[in-house]
A and B are shown apart, each in its own frame.
Chain A
Amino acid sequence: MHKFANPTFFMKIANAVFPWAAGLSVLCFIVGLPIALVTSPPDYQQGETVRIMYVHVPAAWMGSMVYAVMAASSAVYLIWRHTVAHIIARASAPIGAMFTGLCLVTGMLWGEPMWGTWWVWDARLTSMLILFFLYLGYIALGDAFEDQERGDRAAALLALVGSVNLPIVHFSVEWWNTLHQSSILSMQGFSISTEMVVPLLLMVGAFQFYYVAVLVIRLRAELLAAKIRTARFNLAATG
């Protein structure tokens, strides 16, 4: 693992991955979107409204997954002080926040016609909103200190502490009575028809590769920003 802590070596791999991730994301979107939005069957109960699932579910999964990446990277940063790990977490935060926000918005649009309400304070919806606020808090906290390194550590600690919310998001629909239905993916496999699983997985792929591609772009920017900070610091020290 520590070999990857070298920023130059790490970015060499990241840059090699980038065209593949970007290409596969576009491909999955091109193939998946028409199936998801047009040719896949409607639901026997919900009719065409079920198509919201093809955006809502991948966005929800990505919201949790990106946070898991962020928390794990933050742990590596706090323990081994690898700057690359921190930069991965920092670059992931806005992407994860975007996915979680997309999940919340599409969920509201779905809840109104089906449940009869935009929002309820049940365990699943509330824990997902907390996840969204954790992302925003992480982004704000990282830049709230004069001393960049103190901000980095405080944000990393927040990311770690917030990881306690991930199992709550996932198991909320099993542990408690909620208005939200159970997960469509369980140990028994998918609970939805195969014709619906195919476009769903394509959309999940599209979102996953999108994350990787955007992450690499953001990593480049973060590393450049770090270089500029160091150069400024050195300039101030010598001048």
Chain B
Amino acid sequence: MTRKRRRLYFVGLGLLGLFAATALILTAVEDNIVFFFSPSDLKARTVTADQRLRVGGLVEDGSVAKTGETVRFVVTDNAEKLTVQYTGILPDLFREGQGIVAEGRMGADGIFMASDVLAKHDENYMPPEVAEALKKTGHWQEDAQKAAPKTAQDTTTPPSSN
């Protein structure tokens, strides 16, 4: 075996090992990599009141209730729901049907007390006229389809399946 060939195998095997090791590590620490949990994820795990975490999903239609500076709304992933309470300025994109991520703590009464609310948008950019036309002809795909958080089940299936 020439030295070049030996180096080729060495680099190839080294990279293969490195990629495999990284894949294993990323799978193992998945809980720390996800930016937020969906309401379903939260239901599946025990959360203590002192744990700071983020919950993400869609703001349910008709669920936003404002009292002064405080706003309450329901976040859903189309399976489970969670009521969120937040005091402060909401991002411009915040509206019903929009994807959002709230950071805070779980209250004793099952209401999530958020200290920060971020808006999440999908990758379907289009001019306003096109959005209007799609809504009129009934071809409008709700933000729900794209911005909905990945739940534990559908992270394993390719995105094309939904």
Q: Which residues of A come within 8 Å of B, CB atoms?
A: 41-46, 50, 53, 75, 78-80, 113-117, 120-123, 160-161, 163-164, 167-168, 174-179, 181-184, 186-188, 191-193, 195-196
User: Closest CB of chain A to B145's CB: distance in Å?
Assistant: 11
Instruction: Tell which of B33, B93, B120 touches A176, judged by Cβ atoms closer than 8 Å.
Output: B33
Do B18 and A161 have beta carbons less than 8 Å apart?
yes
Contacts of B160 in A (CB 8 A): 187-188
Interchain CA distance A123-B26 in the complex, whole Å: 11
- Nearest CB in chain A to that of B143: its residue: A45
Question: Residue B74 at the A interface, CB < 8 A?
Answer: no
Given contacts A44-B130, A187-B160, are A192 and B119 in contact (CB under 8 A)? no
Instruction: Tell which of A75, A167, A177, A183 touches B123, judged by Cβ atoms closer than 8 Å.
Output: A183
User: Closest CB of chain A to B71's CB: distance in Å?
Assistant: 14
Q: Mark B1-29, 1 if CB is under 8 A from A, else 0.
A: 00010011001001100110010001000
Question: Residue B131 at the A interface, CB < 8 A?
Answer: yes
Given contacts A44-B127, A193-B125, are A177 and B93 in contact (CB under 8 A)? no
Instruction: Tell which of A41, A116, A177, A187 touches B150, judged by Cβ atoms closer than 8 Å.
Output: A177
User: Closest CB of chain B to A196's CB: distance in Å?
Assistant: 6
Interchain CA distance A179-B55 in the complex, whole Å: 11
Ordered by A's residue number, 18 sampled pairs between the chains whose C-beta atoms are within 8 Å are A42-B128, A44-B131, A115-B119, A116-B92, A116-B93, A116-B117, A123-B35, A163-B15, A167-B19, A174-B159, A176-B150, A176-B155, A181-B122, A181-B146, A186-B159, A191-B122, A191-B124, A192-B124
Do A115 and B118 have beta carbons less than 8 Å apart?
yes
The binding surface of chain B is classed by DSSP as: mixed
Instruction: Tell which of B19, B91, B123, B155 touches A175, judged by Cβ atoms closer than 8 Å.
Output: B155
- Nearest CB in chain A to that of B18: its residue: A164
Contacts of B36 in A (CB 8 A): 177, 179
Given contacts A114-B93, A187-B160, are A179 and B131 in contact (CB under 8 A)? no
Instruction: Tell which of B26, B121, B146 touches A168, judged by Cβ atoms closer than 8 Å.
Output: B26
- Nearest CB in chain B to that of A164: its residue: B22
Given contacts A44-B130, A80-B4, are A160 and B15 in contact (CB under 8 A)? yes
Do A191 and B19 have beta carbons less than 8 Å apart?
no
- Most chain B CB inside 10 Å of its own CB: which residue of A42, A46, A178, A187: A178
Do B128 and A44 have beta carbons less than 8 Å apart?
yes
Contacts of A117 in B (CB 8 A): 116, 118
Given contacts A113-B92, A116-B119, A164-B22, are A179 and B125 in contact (CB under 8 A)? no
